[in-house]
Amino acid sequence: MKNNQDLWVNYFPQFIKNNDKGIQLLMDSSTLVTFSAGQQLFYPGSQCENYLLVLTGAVKVQIMSDNGREVLLYHVRSGDSCVLTTSCLLSGDCYPAEGISEGEVQAFAISSHAFYRCMEQSAFFREFVFKNFSSRLAKLISRMETVVFDTIDQRICKVLLETGEKVIAKTHHELAYELGTAREVVSRHLKNFENYVEVTH
Per-residue DSSP letter, 92: -
User: What CA–CA distance (Å, rounded) separates 28 from 2?
Assistant: 8
CATH number of the domain that residue 70 is part of: 2.60.120.10
Tell me how far the alpha carbon of residue 16 is from its chain's centroid: 24
Phi, psi for 15 (deg, rounded to 5): -70, -40
| Residue 30, in any domain of the structure | yes
7-66 pLDDT, tens digit each: 999 999 999 998 888 999 999 999 999 999 999 999 999 999 999 999 999 999 988 877
147-176 pLDDT, tens digit each: 666 677 777 777 777 766 666 777 777 776
Quote the pTM value.
0.72
Counted domains in the chain: 2
158 & 97 share domain: no
| Residue 147, in any domain of the structure | no
Q: Which of 97, 124, 142 is the last residue of a domain?
A: 142
How large is the greatest C-alpha to C-alpha distance in the chain, in angstroms? 67
99 & 185 share domain: no
CATH number of the domain that residue 189 is part of: 1.10.10
Domain span at residue 16 reads 2-142
89 & 70 share domain: yes
